[in-house]
Amino acid sequence: MDSSLGLRLVTITLAFIHIGHAQDQKGFISLDCGLPANELSPYSETYTRLSFSSDENFIQSGKIGRIQANRESKFGKPYRTLRYFPNGTRNGYNLSVEKGRNHLIRAYFIYANYDGFDINPMFDLYLGPNLWDTIDLQGQVNGTRAEMLHIPISNSLQICLVKTGTTTPFISTLEIQPMGNDSYITDSGSLKLFFRGDILISTTLQVNNSNNYSPPKAALTTAATSTNAYAPLTIKWNSSNVFSQYYLYTHFAEIQELQTNDTREFNLNWNGNHYYDLLVPPKFKVFTVFSESGGSCKGGECSFQLTRTNRSTLPPLVNALEVFTVIHFPQPETNETDVFAVQNIKTTYGISRISWQGDPCVPQQFIWDGLSCSNTDMATPPRITHLNLSSSGLTGNITDGIQNLTLLETLDLSNNNLIGEVPEFLGNMKSLVFINISMNNLSGLIPQALQRKGLELFCQRNPRLCLSGSCLPAKPKPFPVATFASVASVAIIIAVLVLTFVVRKKKPSIVGAQQRPPSISSAVNVTYANSPVSSIQTNKRSLTYSEVINMTNNFQRVVGEGGFGIVYHGYCNEGDHLALIYEFVPNGDLRQHMSGKGGRSIINWGIRLRIAVEAASGLEYLHIGCIPPMVHRDVKTTNILLDEQFKAKLADFGLSRSFPVVDESHVSTMVAGTPGYLDPEYYRTNRLTEKSDVYSFGIVLLEMITNQPVIDQSREKSHITEWAGFEVNSGDIRSIMDPNLQEDYDSDSAWRTFDLAMSCANPSSKRRPSMFQVVVELKECLASEKSSRNMSRGIMDSHRSDEVTVLVDTEMFLVAR
């Protein structure tokens, strides 16, 4: 091979070559990313004649930038502006395309020190839920590009930039061009551009390029030929991946006026094998030779050779060469109908959550906030099964777009400003088993369809909402009761301040509760869906001070001590002697029943999962059901108490904090909590969010799985997250499971619980799930366990009664700490 020729071909691979007719741009999307809306748009780019427009209508995030002024002259107009993404992990474009049609997709990235940092960024580029390319601008003075040919399986296409390190993703231009389906065909997968080359000798004559591949006319007016007229024209390249499959597209046109006796005829060889024989380039008309199937290169060394025949008087030539590698996208996109439905909901309510970009369900680490999805296998598109838009500032009616989520199981629209009637279609969605529309301004009658068996409906605090047959008068309810996932959860969560006992003697004071004089709890009427009774009245009983002294043996019968006070056995309401008193739970705390401490029994895996669901439901209520929302701040196994039926009670609210401002996402506060359970991000920043409780709960789950200390200095990995993560690298969940369980558990539910625990304990709060998502996942883990074994062998039967007795101070959540 002529070495100078090889160098010249390598040099031209960076040329900006455009496929397709610029003059026929029907269906084209050519975006000048970062072009301000007030600038001329669309405009025609000088070289390609492509019509570029601003990208502002195709993306909801990002900021506008412009390359360094002294470098603008090097680049055409579309490449001088850019959009960069300092916020969020995944930011994406949503584009309308023709389903089933081949499309050229191309993006350019020209850094040119737009931010003044002079640090070339690196980030990932995704097509839907799959990685397309890694964009590395290191050493790329003139920028780089990503290009592929791809057939969309739906009418929408998400192209996203994902931050993978410390540098900021950006994009200069994005182009989508529909192609003919009879060109650039693969056996499977899509085609990713490896390189493209053209030029060397040229003509001023017109070259017809009307075939299916339509290379640009500028490329066809040039050709490469060997400097040695009798030597083969050889093009070589190396591949780091020896398994790569390549497709070649070579374009030929005779661009010289030949003499009467001149002949140009040659054979094509690919990696030493016959490829095409006796090729005579047509005069001033393009002829394309392409691979019908992918080919690999031995040892990663690829060679394409053009050899003149014996009767040829002229050397071979090639006008343009395109080499593509096969790229597969194994992760299916979320079901198209579900994507359309949730996008419609997003538009209807003007939801601007930064995570609501790209594919809603996959990949798992980028799932939209408030969603849970079914991900059964890589061959089945995920479906949206849970939608939580609680406290999202929604206004207007309940959109009928929800009914298009045909596999939706739970829907939470609580604590918004929704108006109008409750639509009947909600009751006709057969997959729905839980609906929470409480704390809105809904009105009218609740449709009969919503009272079907198997559907739990929570609709409290809608003053003008009427139950079937009659309207209930609006009653002020200082305590927002019943926003739970099940009636079983009500007993757990309403009695959240378990074992917090305060005696106020002479001078009123509150320790471990609200800083105001409480009163003994009064009866509360609570309505539950599918309950055999329409309301449940809490038990109440008053004791004299002398009786309390007697019951506590003059305050010597100490049950325990919380973060802000001693816990006794008894309660009182007499004169100046006021006490908040909650039910006594005889089975101690969760920690004791994993270790067997004090003669306690060891609870089995199924019971542990059920306790986890109950405790998580309590935290979920604090985060989204309380007004104002609350953060527990001291979630640990010793603060999960068990009653005589081993039902979980979340306890010790001495460190709890509320978020009194509606739009406030965090509060700044002095760090408090228990070492090992304490959120490291909260510890570093003093910024408290509900995700701090999620972290602590992740540690609780790891304890329930492993029965190991949270911190053990005798271990090489002292913290439980580090130890468990290291041990489970062997791929055997048994390496970390509590040996007291004697391998009596469903491995699938154990794995899913472990994965959930590690997700909760992610060092970054943004990567942690919400408690709503935690509850949903734990319920699925419990269902998996129940389906594989008989739960009745445990300490108690898993059957939960719909009858609940509630004892609660009705003012407990009204005052912020």
Please state, as a whole number, how many other Cβ atoms lie within 10 Å of the Cβ of residue 400: 12
* Beta-bridge mates of residue 690: none
3-state secondary structure of 312: coil
Q: Which of 583, 497, 512, 503 has the alpha carbon at shortest distance from 548?
A: 503
The DSSP bridge pattern shows strands 464-467 and 441-445 to be: parallel
Q: Are residues 212 and 142 in the same domain?
A: no
**What is the domain-level CATH number for residue 125?**
2.60.120.430
- Residue 617 and residue 528 in contact, taking contact as beta carbons nearer than 8 Å: no
* Cβ–Cβ < 8 Å for 578, 504: yes
| Domain-terminating residue out of 327, 357, 380 | 327
The gap from C-alpha 661 to its chain's centroid, in whole angstroms, comes to 27
Tokens 């109950």 label which residue? 614
| Domain annotation covers residue 27 | yes
CATH at residue 235 = 2.60.120
Q: Which of 476, 505, 523 lies at the terminal end of a domain, its last residue?
A: 476
Let me know: does 255 contact 207? Beta carbons within 8 Å: yes
Q: Which amino acid is at 361?
A: C
- DSSP secondary structure string, 35-94? --TTS--SEE-TTT--EEEESTTS-S--EEEE--GGGGGGS-GGGTEEEE--SSSEEEEE
Q: Which residues contact 8 (CB under 8 A, 6 or more apart)?
A: 200, 224
Taking alpha carbons only, the member of 687, 643, 633 closest to residue 495 is 643
Domain count, the chain: 4
Q: What is the pLDDT of residue 507?
A: 30
Q: 505: number of CA atoms within 13 Å, CB side?
A: 8
| Edge-to-edge strands, sheet with 395-396 | 395-396, 417-420, 441-445, 464-467, 470-471
Residue 555 lies in a domain: no
pLDDT the model gives residue 429: 94
Q: What is 197-237 written as a DSSP string?
A: EE-SEE-SS--B--STT---HHHHTEEEE-SSTTS-EEEEE
Eight-class DSSP state of 728 = G
Supply 670's token pair.
């002095």
Q: Same domain for 417 and 287? A: no
Is 559 a domain residue? no
311 and 230 together in one domain: yes
- Rounded Cα–Cα distance for residues 698 and 701 (Å): 5
* Same domain (yes/no): 798, 660: yes
Same domain, 199 and 110: no
Q: Is residue 544 part of a domain?
A: no
pLDDT of residue 624: 83
**Looking at residue 92, what is its pLDDT?**
95
CA-CA distance, 201 to 222, in Å (whole number)? Answer: 5
SS (H, E, C) 396-456: ECCCHHHHHCCCCCEEECCCCEEEECCCCHHHHCCCCCEEECCCCEEEEECCHHHHCCCCE
* DSSP letter (8 states) at residue 514: -
Task: Give the integer Cα–Cα distance in Å for 484 and 497.
Answer: 17
Q: What range defines the domain where residue 424 resides? A: 336-476
Same domain, 234 and 145: no
- Strands 320-327 and 287-290, by their bridges, are unpaired
DSSP code per residue over 666-723:
-EE----S-TTTS-HHHHHH-EE-HHHHHHHHHHHHHHHHH---SB-TTSSS-BHHHH
Does residue 366 contact residue 89 with C-beta atoms inside 8 Å? yes
Low-confidence ranges of the chain (pLDDT < 50): 1-23, 199-200, 202-206, 216-220, 470, 472-540, 562-565, 569, 571, 661-663, 790-817
Q: What is residue 295's DSSP assignment?
A: B
Same domain, 349 and 247: no
347 and 238 within one domain: no
Together in a domain, 607 and 736: yes
The rounded distance, in Å, linking the Cα atoms of 92 and 513 is 46
Give dist(CA 233, CA 305) in Å, integer.
6
Q: What is the pLDDT of residue 731?
A: 78
Report the catalytic residues: 634
- Peptide bond preceding 763 in cis form (omega within 30 of 0): no
Radius of gyration of the chain (CA): 34
Residue 523 placed within a domain:
no
The answer to the question of residue 467 being in a domain is yes
Structure tokens that stand for 424 in this block: 């009947």
**What pLDDT sits at residue 485?**
34
β-strand pairing of 29-32 with 173-178: antiparallel
Same structural domain, 312 and 397: no
Domain shared by 355 and 440, yes or no = yes
Asked if the structure places residue 519 within a domain, the reply is no
Rounded distance, CA 376 to CA 784, Å?
A: 13
Position 3 in a domain: no
Asked if residues 94 and 60 have their Cβ atoms less than 8 Å apart, the reply is: no
CATH code at 344? Answer: 3.80.10.10
Q: Hey, what are 619's tokens?
A: 């935290």
List of residues 6+ apart from 73 with CB closer than 8 A: none
pLDDT tens-digit profile of 412-469?
999 899 999 999 999 999 999 999 998 899 999 999 899 888 888 888 889 899 875 5
Tell me if residue 392 falls in helix, strand or coil: coil
Q: With contact defined as beta carbons under 8 Å apart, do 57 and 95 qualify?
A: no
Write the burial class of residue 131 (CB in 10 Å: 0-12 exposed, 13-18 middle, 19+ buried).
Answer: middle
Same domain, residue pair 62 and 135:
yes
Angle at 494 between CA 490 and CA 500, to 5 degrees: 145
d(CA 266, CA 142): 36
Three-class SS of residue 191? strand
Q: Which of 285, 308, 327 is the last residue of a domain?
A: 327
State how far the alpha carbon of 196 is from the alpha carbons of 14, 320, 523, in Å: 8, 7, 78
Residues 6+ apart with CB under 8 A from 652: 499, 500, 512, 562, 563, 634, 639
CATH number of the domain residue 704 falls in: 1.10.510.10
Element (H, E) at 10: helix 3-12
